[in-house]
Amino acid sequence: MSEIISSDNLRKLAAEWIEQGVRVAAPQHAGGRVLYLPLKNSADLLLDAFIHPANSAKEFLFPKSETLYAYRVEGQDVKLVEAPGTETPQVLLGVRPCDAAAFPILDHIFNWDCADELYNRRRRNTTIVVLACSAHDANCFCTSVGLGPASERGADVLLVPLTNDTFEVRSVTEKGRSLFAGKTQTDNVAAMAAAGPEPRFAPDAVRKFSAANFEHPIWGEHALACVGCGACAHTCPTCHCFDIVDEHGERVRNWDSCQFSLFTLHASGHNPRPDQGSRQRQRILHKFSIYPDKFGEILCTGCGNCTRNCPAGLGVLPLLIAIEHEEHLPA
Amino acid sequence: MKNIYQPDLMEVAAVQRHTADVKSVKVRFRDADCAQQFQFRVGQFGIFSSFGYGESVFNICSSSTWSDGLEFCFRKTGRVTEALWEIEEGDTIGFRGPYGNGYPVEAWKGKNLIFLGGGIAMPPIRCAIWYALENRADYGDITIVYGARTVADLVYVNELAEWSKRERVRVIQCVDPGGETPNWTGEIGFVPTVFERAQVAAENSVALVIGPPIMIKNTMPVLDRMGLPRASVYTSLENRMKCGVGKCGRCNCGPVYVCKEGPVFTMEELAALPQDY
Ligand SMILES: Cc1cc2nc3c(=O)[nH]c(=O)nc-3n(C[C@H](O)[C@H](O)[C@H](O)COP(=O)(O)OP(=O)(O)OC[C@H]3O[C@@H](n4cnc5c(N)ncnc54)[C@H](O)[C@@H]3O)c2cc1C
Ligand code: SF4
Ligand code: SF4
Ligand code: FES
């Protein structure tokens, strides 16, 4: 037995949520691109004909810019003002499996040793409705990192396309079940997940190589084309680096990236990562060796956004393929 | 639940100017409960903030045995430190911390202590010196070699003089060649050379070496020649940090988050890490 919903009813449901004051974010057309954006009108909800939005869904749990707290300077005294913070429920609707899978991965960093309440509060109040992929492009590599077009990792509900305008609704968590309770029809057909991309590399080989070859020409060679723009990190579902700065009476955290030259610059002027090669190395090492060693998971979900959005056509995939090739060369 | 990024407010109790660009500041918690509960280990750091300008990472340079507030010492180098340069008694600053591992002062018990510092590296050493002096019976001979580019760049000169009067404490001050004044009575030369000339015994000793990378690099061969094992030589890394709590992704040195697993490492531990500092 399976639960089914038509795209019309899904739109109606989204409209109901919006009506109830739930914040809904979903893929939509925007200026010639597809982006995850706050959904104002359920007619704008995009349910097919896109591979992956140009951004990632992480910004709805970990915003680009977020006030940590505010302050008022009164003479020699200072008054701290807590960030308003919100308990408003949120639904991320139609997110790709590679975006959803990033949240359980990000949970580690925001909670090891001490808990980041700003992130956790949003996480608690968010329900994640994943839309399985029916197609992939040359940049997708979810199957190389243990995921796939219908992966349930991080999902509360998984929608799998059944026909042109119906979806099978697979509830993964209690939160997801209650969101769709009474909104589906029962049927005895089951949706077939699409085949994903062929695996492109083995993460273990990358981990082995990158942990053992801190000094290696491959880093510099691959970084030659990199302009250090950080687009890869900013559109990555798992990158989570941030800066803390003062802006207009507030202390704010803004996304940052290890691809920027100022990222590790010491006050003395010394920079342990003085060139783009050492910054690309950090990116691969962090994702495939450092994070897995610490938290038992690869910091990458294979979405391909880093390559899709890179002005130089880089991103991690070409480097990962080259590394695996290098690792298998006879010594 | 507490917002881990929100600082406690501290009132500036005293400001001391050491050089043309170094000042130290003593601060006290505005909140009595905070003051009561606050504890730290020497070698830990804090994130200090000037409201309107931002946050900066400094070592806590007072001893953990002092109960009245805490002290930090900074060099004016950028946006936040220029703002902190202007603070006066009675002003309010923000403090988060203490963060990091600190020095293993328990493991150092019964050992002779060798402190080697260059320039602005005095503050992170000063807290350990005072800690050892206040627990004098726990530690053996203390040797302090402290150098700066010129006489005018030395910080905590009054305390250096005071330490040298203590029992079983040897203080050697030095300035780079050309940095001396006509009435300079200390040594002339770089820290590693001056230290080697001083012929300090390695037996049953630990060393804490903090300073610019070049000083540390040139000091290591001297310590090796003395026969001090690298597992007994400590340093404190200065990787750029923002959050201090293992989240912002900035401070890692290979697999190690310096803000949480450091900043204090032995040279043996550092040798096992990639050159990412
Ligand atoms: C664990 C630890 C302990 C420390 N302890 C101490 C201590 O006890 N005392 C102390 O004085 N310092 C200490 N430091 C260093 C201290 O954190 C920095 O000196 C301080 O944060 C500088 O802050 P700032 O905002 O004034 O400088 P910033 O404005 O951040 O600038 C610092 C430097 O960064 C570079 N920089 C910044 N922005 C730019 C730009 N746009 N373009 C090019 N270059 C730029 C410049 O070289 C500048 O001098 C410590 C650091 C660490 C990690
Ligand atoms: S998006 Fe491309 S050019 Fe920009 S920092 Fe990343 S790898 Fe470099
Ligand atoms: S890859 Fe770079 S930007 Fe992304 S989380 Fe790691 S250090 Fe931060
Ligand atoms: S300073 Fe943010 S992770 Fe270490």
- Check residue B254 and give its pLDDT: 87
Distance CA B146, CA B125 (A): 10
Domain at B112-236: CATH code:
3.40.50.80
| ipTM of model over 0.85 | yes
- Check residue A267 and give its pLDDT: 83
Closest by Cα among A47, A52, A2 to A301: A52
Question: Percentage of chain B surpassing pLDDT 90?
Answer: 92
Residues B218-235 have pLDDT tens digits of: 999 999 999 999 999 999
Q: How far is the CA of B243 from the centre of ligand 4 (A)?
A: 5
Distance CA A125, CA A112 (A): 20
User: Cα distance from A63 to chain B (closest Cα, Å)?
Assistant: 14
- Check residue B212 and give its pLDDT: 86
Sorting pLDDT into bands at 50, 70 and 90, what band is A211? confident
Closest by Cα among B132, B134, B62 to B95: B62
Asked if B94 lies within 8 A of A78 by C-beta distance, the reply is yes
User: Cα distance from A267 to chain B (closest Cα, Å)?
Assistant: 7
Overall number of domains in chain A? 1
Residue intervals in chain B for CATH 2.40.30.10 = 8-99
Sorting pLDDT into bands at 50, 70 and 90, what band is B135? very high
Q: Which residue has its alpha carbon closest to ligand 3 atom 1?
A: A283
Residues A117-152 have pLDDT tens digits of: 999 999 999 999 999 999 999 999 999 999 999 999
- Check residue A330 and give its pLDDT: 61
Residues β-bridged to residue B24: B16, B73
Task: Tell the burial category of A19 from Cβ atoms under 10 Å away from its Cβ (0-12, 13-18, 19+).
Answer: exposed
User: Cα distance from B104 to chain A (closest Cα, Å)?
Assistant: 21
Give the domain range for residue A310. 2-327
Q: Considering only the beta carbons, identify the residue of B53, B250, B260 that sits closest to A246.
A: B53
- Check residue A86 and give its pLDDT: 78
Identify the sign of the CA torsion A89, A93, A98, A99: negative
Q: Which residue has its alpha carbon closest to ligand 2 atom 4?
A: A229
Asked if A244 lies within 8 A of B248 by C-beta distance, the reply is yes
CB–CB contacts below 8 A, A to B:
120
Q: Give the predicted TM-score (pTM) of the model.
A: 0.94
Mutate to test the pocket of ligand 2, among A55, A219, A232 (most ligand atoms within 8 A of CB): A232
Residue intervals in chain B for CATH 3.40.50.80 = 112-236
Position in ligand 4 atom list of the atom nearest CA B242: 1
Q: Which residue has its alpha carbon closest to ligand 3 atom 4?
A: A239
Distance CA B273, CA B262 (A): 12
Q: Which fold has domain B8-99?
A: Elongation Factor Tu (Ef-tu); domain 3 (2.40.30)
By C-alpha distance, the chain B residue nearest A271 is B277
Residues B73-131 have pLDDT tens digits of: 999 999 999 999 999 999 999 999 999 999 999 999 999 999 999 988 999 999 999 99
Instruction: State the ligand closest to the CA atom of A256.
Output: 3
Between A192 and A18, name the one with better pLDDT: A18
Sorting pLDDT into bands at 50, 70 and 90, what band is A331? low
Mean pLDDT for A246-269 is: 94
Strand order from edge to edge, sheet including A23-30: A33-38, A23-30, A90-95, A126-131, A157-163, A166-171, A2-6, A185-187
Q: Beta strand B92-99 with B187-188: parallel, antiparallel or unpaired? A: unpaired
Closest by Cα among B210, B244, B209, B212 to B223: B209
- Check residue A238 and give its pLDDT: 98
Asked if B245 lies within 8 A of A83 by C-beta distance, the reply is no
Asked if B49 lies within 8 A of A251 by C-beta distance, the reply is yes
* 3-state DSSP percent of chain A in helix, strand and coil, to 5: 35, 25, 45
Residues B152-162 have pLDDT tens digits of: 999 999 999 99
